[in-house]
Amino acid sequence: MARIVQKYGGSSVANVERIFNVARRVAQTASNGNEVAVVVSAMGDATDELLSLAEQITSFPPERELAMLLSTGEQISIALLTMALHKLGCEAISFTGAQAGVMTSGTHTNARICRFEAAKVLQALAAGKIAVVAGFQGVNAGGEIQTLGRGGSDTTAVALAAAIGADYCEIYTDVDGVYTVDPRVVPKARRLEEITYDEMLELASLGAKVLHPRAVECAKEHQVVIHVRSSFHEGKGTLVKEAASVEKGTVISGIACDEDQVKFALMGVPDQPGVAATIFSAVAEAGVNVDLIVQSIHRNGENDILFTVAKADFVKVQRVLEPLVRKIGAKELRHQSNVAKISVVGAGMIHHTGVAAGMFQALASAGINIEIISTSEIKISCLIAAKHLQKAAEAIHDYFQLS
Ligand code: ADP
Ligand code: ASP
Ligand code: MG
């Protein structure tokens, strides 16, 4: 007998038929003699639909109320899946994040799990029941409902697996594993048998949304092996773990595409100490993460500062920057949302030269202009026009022979 956590994403529970499909899989796993805890996301595009409802009310909803609203999506799924399990003759019980003991802290819509008090889930398993837990949500020390950021149900699953000492943590989604690049963008992408936590963390942080970055961090911290699989067909999937068996000659393990970027440009900023600190402190105080940053070479005592943030933070940043432009004596504030970030990731880069050159060469051959470049030990990112994203991904994939 094994103790198994299975997580099913939004597309896997998008309608009643698919909920029954999930219920049958869960029931089969349980009837093989395993203890099963299931984590589910909101049905299909439910979270986007809830966000759009909020937007119709106000473009600046209070974070507390937004978390309150978004958490309802997962609550629908747990109740329906549990009903479907009952219909199939299984004993099952649903838990909201708070009931399951998901303790969170931080901002209401981008909270982190600080503790998983899994006693109730363990009791249910001990009583021979399937525990069905709402992903993406928890409760803070003040009893407030919080959500974990988009894609956060993966993190609920990994944290639950760690808390109950699960033997397996399976993330079921609409692709049959982690690929060299999003297979919806580059159809000839190749499925990876295994990938290391560090490489997966980098890919996820750079926008490959197959796993939530915090889920990978949590898995690494607690040494939980994540098995990414398809909920629609059988297949080997991909293992995310500490040391992947190194594939011969690979320098690049994958490419991440991120269309969730908006670029701000402060033009004609006085070239003085403290200006960048003023700008980015204000952005940080608004609770916004800045992604790429570039400052142009100064001319006539001025320079331009460009940076990108997630699209969801657009209004927040604009609110902060508008009064700041005058305060710091900048000439103009511009923004642009038709940009995308493309990144190559690979631990092998540490020991290989020419990866950046290769990436730029691939983009140049495809006639694509690079706006911003950013690098770390194991990744290189370029900001490009969003309309060129697919062409760029294909060119880089071909250049590094990832197929
Ligand atoms: P779920 O609702 O199951 O959590 P997501 O939409 O969050 O599913 O994540 C799965 C999607 O991630 C896939 O449909 C795919 O388009 C995208 N994706 C991005 N990068 C990759 C990658 N490298 N490998 C596999 N899928 C990827
Ligand atoms: N439903 C949430 C979202 O769409 C969480 C998740 O699916 O993981 O972001
Ligand atoms: Mg997801």
Report the C-alpha gap between 279 and 232 in whole angstroms.
47
| Per-residue tokens: 294 | 């570039």
400 CB within 6 A, ligand 2: no
Looking at residue 227, its pLDDT comes to 98
Residue nearest to atom 27 of ligand 1 (CA): 182
As given in the structure block, the two tokens for residue 142 are 């003040």
Which residues are placed with Cβ below 5 angstroms of ligand 3, an ion? 9, 151
Give yes or no for residue 214 CB within 6 A of ligand 2. no
The CA 347 to ligand 2 mean position distance, Å, reads 29
Query: What is the Cα–Cα distance from 28 to 143, expressed in whole angstroms?
Result: 36
Mean pLDDT value of segment 360-372? 96
Nearest ligand 2 atom to the CA of 148 is 5
Order across the sheet with 372-376: list the strands. 293-295, 302-309, 254-270, 332-345, 379-385, 372-376
Give the ligand 1 atom nearest the CA of 153: 4
Mean pLDDT score, 145-152? 97
pTM of the model: 0.94
Q: Could you tell me the distance, in angstroms and rounded to a whole number, from the CA of residue 153 to the centre of ligand 2?
A: 6
Q: Which atom of ligand 1 is nearest to the CA of 255?
A: 23
Q: Which residue reads 């495809």 in tokens?
A: 366
Ligand 3 centroid – CA 398 distance (Å)? 27
Q: Which atom of ligand 2 is nearest to the CA of 136?
A: 5
181 vs 192: CA distance, rounded Å: 10
Q: Does domain 3-174 have CATH number 3.40.1160.10?
A: yes
10 close to ligand 2 (CB < 6 Angstrom): yes
Share of the chain above pLDDT 90, in %: 91
- Asked whether residue 270 carries a pLDDT value surpassing 90, the answer given is yes
118 lines ligand 1 (CB under 6 A): no
Binned at pLDDT 50, 70 and 90, residue 19 comes out as very high
Displacement of CA 154 from its chain's centroid (Å): 9
Say yes or no: do domains 3-174 and 256-399 share a fold. no
pLDDT tens for 289-328 read: 999 999 988 788 899 999 999 998 999 999 999 999 999 9
- Taking the C-alpha atoms of residue 222 and residue 213, their distance in angstroms, rounded to an integer, is 14
Domain ranges within the chain, ordered by starting residue: 3-174, 256-399
Which helix (H) or strand (E) covers residue 55, if one does? helix 46-57
Phi, psi of 371 (to 5 degrees): -95, -45
Average pLDDT of the residues in 129-142: 98
CATH class label, 256-399: alpha beta
Q: How far apart are the first and last CA of the chain?
A: 38
Sign of CA dihedral 369, 372, 373, 376: negative
Euclidean distance between CA atoms 381 and 76, whole angstroms: 38
Residues 25-40 have pLDDT tens digits of 999 999 999 999 999 9
Vertex 155 angle, CA 154 and 161, to 5°: 95
What confidence tier does 350 reach under pLDDT thresholds 50, 70, 90?
confident
CA dist 313 and 94 (Å) reads 33
- Residue identifier of the C-alpha nearest atom 15 of ligand 1: 182
Report DSSP letters for 183-212, one per residue: TTT-TT--B-SEEEHHHHHHHHHTT-TTS-
Binding site membership of 149 for ligand 2 (Cβ less than 6 Å): no
What values do phi and psi take at 81, rounded to 5? -65, -40
